[in-house]
Every structure is written in structure tokens, then in C-alpha cells.
């Protein structure tokens, strides 16, 4: 069995990496950060509920952009 190399990564590293990748698909900075918050919420809490309020229409626009990427 091979010895596995352990990576030391901070939460800040994870957030920065997520933002770097998401902004390529969601050019609106606020929507990109909201999507990152949803992803982190899902990863850390095993929950899709994140308490972020978006302006009317922004949530639908962000959801549409996410669905386009999937």
C-alpha cells in the first residue's frame, strides 16, 4: 500500500479556491460569493440552507447560472 501524502489546507484556502473557480462561470461578484456561501454551507453543515437574502430576481438569476454550469 502506498503512503498517502497529506495536504495542509486552511478554510481560507478553500474559500479562495472556490471563489477563483466560481467567478469564471458567474461574472456577477455578489452572485459568485453567494454561490460560494451555498457550497461551503453544503460542505460544512451538510445542509443547503444558507441565510443570505438576495435582491428580488437575483436569486433566480444565480440559480439559472448555476443550473447552466451543471
Query: Cell triple for residue 24?
Result: 469564471
Q: What pLDDT, on a 0 to 100 scale, did the predictor assign at position 16?
A: 92
- What's the rounded mean pLDDT across residues 54-62? 64
Q: How confident is the model at residue 55 (pLDDT cuts 50, 70, 90)?
A: low
Q: Would you state the cell numbers that stand for residue 33, as one nine-digit string?
A: 460569493
pLDDT confidence bin for 17, thresholds 50/70/90: very high
Domain ranges across the chain = 11-69
- Residue 28, pLDDT > 60, answer yes
- Residue 6 scores a pLDDT above 60: yes
Mean residue pLDDT of the chain comes to: 76
In angstroms, the CA 59 to CA 65 distance is 10
User: Phi-psi category of 3—alpha, beta or left, where left has phi over 0 and alpha has psi -120 to 50?
Assistant: beta
Amino acid at each position: 500500500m502506498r503512503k498517502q501524502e497529506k495536504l495542509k489546507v486552511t478554510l481560507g484556502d478553500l474559500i479562495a479556491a472556490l471563489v477563483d473557480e466560481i467567478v469564471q462561470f458567474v461574472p456577477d461578484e455578489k452572485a459568485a460569493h453567494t454561490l460560494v456561501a451555498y457550497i461551503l454551507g453544503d460542505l460544512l453543515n451538510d445542509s443547503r440552507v444558507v441565510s443570505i437574502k438576495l435582491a428580488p430576481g437575483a436569486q433566480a438569476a444565480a440559480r439559472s447560472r448555476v443550473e447552466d454550469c451543471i
